[in-house]
Amino acid sequence: MTSTNPASARGAALLADPLLNKGTAFSPQERAELGLDGLLPPATESLEEQADRAYKAFLAYDKPLNRHIYLRQLQDTNEVLFYDLLTRHLEEMLPVVYTPTVGEACRRFSQIYRRPRGLFLTYEDRHRFREILRNRPNPEVDVIVVTDGQRILGLGDQGVGGMGIPIGKLSLYTAIGGIHPARTLPILLDAGTDNEQLLTGEHYLGRRQHRVTGDAYDEMIEAFVSAVEAELPGTLLQWEDFATAHARPILGRYQDRLLTFNDDIQGTAAVALGALSTATKVAGTRLTDHRLVVLGAGSAAIGVADMIRTALVEEGLSEQQAADRFWFVDIDGLLVRSRTDLTPEQRVYARDDAEVRQWGGRDLAQVVDEVKPTVLIGLSTAHGAFTEEIVRTMAEACDRPVILPLSNPTSNAEAEPADLARWTDGRALIAAGSPFPPLKVDGREVPVAQANNVYVFPAVGLAVAACRASRVTDRMMVAAARAVGECAVRAGTDGATPLLPPLAGMREAAREIAVAVAEAAVEDGVAPRATEAELRDAISATQWTPRYAS
């Protein structure tokens, strides 16, 4: 990406600028005026014709990774065409642009690398971060997505390959939220890698040293934040795929200092709460009626519980009453107060040892048998952990069990939705973290709701850009979650259809979710006062649509 001013480029340089290039859509007059005669085939196509041709080329690739590479190359060649194609086929292409295919793209980043996109900031350059930020392709930025590549999806440390995550996330900020592609910036903080396969790999493109840790790591993060504050004040900074040991401390350190949020902690939580809100309405119950068992106690799982707890308090429970609705199980069993390995965030949900003293065990099966939960959430990356026995035990005591196997990619899911439906005689209300084939219900195919953060973060970006918010508050994220649930209900969810809105209509849903987020920002005093009508107008004006400039 270079410039967005057509007058600044001509000829081959114009065709090399993905933000300005129209390819075969340049008219004969434009070709003559811009020095393009002879540089393009004679035919002149419309954007629709180009998208149809590009879609056929996309379908010609049989492997998802090859389709991902094709779309990335198209993005690097002609961004308007890329985003027009993506928005036309969002439901089909989302798993290719992002999870699960992006995981393989990250794993093989050094092998499939073609063209630069975004910024790579290495530990050794930490004292020059502000200077390097000035090399960004475009001066005005609305959203930054940053990762250090340490905990990519369920694949672990991918080092510099983690750059595929910010690139993919920002593609969805644009395709769904409508953030102009020139106003997005992916960043990879290269602190090294502890992945020995990468360190010894022949073609690895990252820093060939083990990860920086401790005070040195914190110094790098502080240098980065300070550089962003100095160079891009007011820009939304999204933290993505940081290890559990770093994710929450970073968020706690900076969330009151600048406009920032952690998508793994807050975005995942908002989508889970949105699905749970829909399921609650479908089941005809109240949120405060639920008993929740959560498998996994990392930053994402605790983030989900924190957001649901906030919503429970909004509905009248005390903080302690809300926390008491949860039972957490990790690799070492139930979280209880006598355990010495718990973080302060985990300890909020630890159960009293006396409560479970008579239990036969403290693993997931025993906890489900004792608690008889109405909601079962998985963020453990433990494939198949929701066994038939566990699910049937839950379903015996609950008419409409809510089961959310949220780990991704697909290979890490706690259960297959088809199995969950079969084990519960079709009574389970399901949302998964990765895409799964439709279920067969009463002779028809019913899509499985994918609890993808794409329901939330593009709308949050759109909202804060439109309403000029200075912070991202908990109330804003809860508002996003509730709006997701409302969009699903309006789409006709009845228990046999997904708990989340249809992906095909996400650009429209993003506007409604953004309105809810912006209103919450105004109520929290972190955005200028504005009426709902004014916020809607600002959001509509901010949402970019992929169309060629005339």
pLDDT, tens digit (0-9, with 9 covering 90-100), for 362-411? 999 999 999 999 999 999 999 999 999 999 999 999 999 999 999 977 88
Cβ–Cβ contacts within 10 Å for residue 60, how many?
Answer: 10
pLDDT, tens digit (0-9, with 9 covering 90-100), for 49-75? 999 999 999 999 999 999 999 999 999
* 82 and 160 share one domain: no
Confidence (pLDDT) at 5: 52
**Residues tagged active-site:** 98, 169
* 286 and 411 share one domain: yes
For 378, the enclosing helix (H) or strand (E) is strand 375-378
* 381 and 361 share one domain: yes
CATH number at residue 175: 3.40.50.10380
Distance CA 542, CA 213 (A): 40
* 295 and 427 share one domain: yes
Confidence (pLDDT) at 154: 75
- Domain-embedded: residue 353: yes
* 277 and 424 share one domain: yes
* Partner residues linked to 293 by β-bridges: 327, 376
- Domain-embedded: residue 287: yes
Instruction: Specify whether the CB–CB gap between 432 and 417 falls below 8 A.
Output: yes
- Give the residue from 241, 258, 275 where a domain finishes: 258
pLDDT, tens digit (0-9, with 9 covering 90-100), for 439-496? 887 777 888 898 989 999 999 999 999 999 999 999 999 999 999 999 998 887 444 5
pLDDT, tens digit (0-9, with 9 covering 90-100), for 110-135? 999 999 999 999 999 999 999 999 99
> Locate tokens 């434009």: which residue?
30
* 287 and 421 share one domain: yes
| pLDDT higher than 70, residue 6 | no
- Domain-embedded: residue 546: no
| pLDDT higher than 90, residue 158 | yes
- Give the residue from 433, 452, 471 where a domain finishes: 452
- Domain-embedded: residue 537: no
* 374 and 413 share one domain: yes
Confidence (pLDDT) at 495: 47
* The model's pTM: 0.91
pLDDT bin (cut points 50, 70, 90) of residue 497 is low
* 444 and 305 share one domain: yes
Q: CA-CA distances (angstroms) from residue 339 to 346, 350, 364, 380?
A: 11, 9, 17, 19
Instruction: Specify whether the CB–CB gap between 126 and 219 falls below 8 A.
Output: yes
- Domain-embedded: residue 539: no
* 136 and 188 share one domain: yes
φ and ψ at residue 359, rounded to 5 degrees? -70, 150
Distance CA 225, CA 135 (A): 16
* 389 and 479 share one domain: no
> Locate tokens 């649509």: which residue?
545
Confidence (pLDDT) at 1: 39
Percent of the chain with pLDDT over 70: 98
Confidence (pLDDT) at 2: 41
- Domain-embedded: residue 15: yes
- Domain-embedded: residue 543: no
- Give the residue from 420, 452, 484 where a domain finishes: 452
Say whether 511 sits in a helix, a strand or coil. Answer: helix
* 298 and 435 share one domain: yes
- Domain-embedded: residue 360: yes
- Tell me whether residue 7 is exposed, middle or buried, using C-beta atoms within 10 angstroms of its C-beta: 0 to 12, 13 to 18, 19 or more: exposed
Say whether 317 sits in a helix, a strand or coil. Answer: coil
Task: Return the closest-CA partner of residue 28 out of 20, 18, 36.
Answer: 36
Distance CA 184, CA 236 (A): 10
pLDDT bin (cut points 50, 70, 90) of residue 10 is very high
* 93 and 114 share one domain: no
Domain residues for 218? Answer: 109-258
Q: Provide the number of structural domains found in the chain.
A: 4
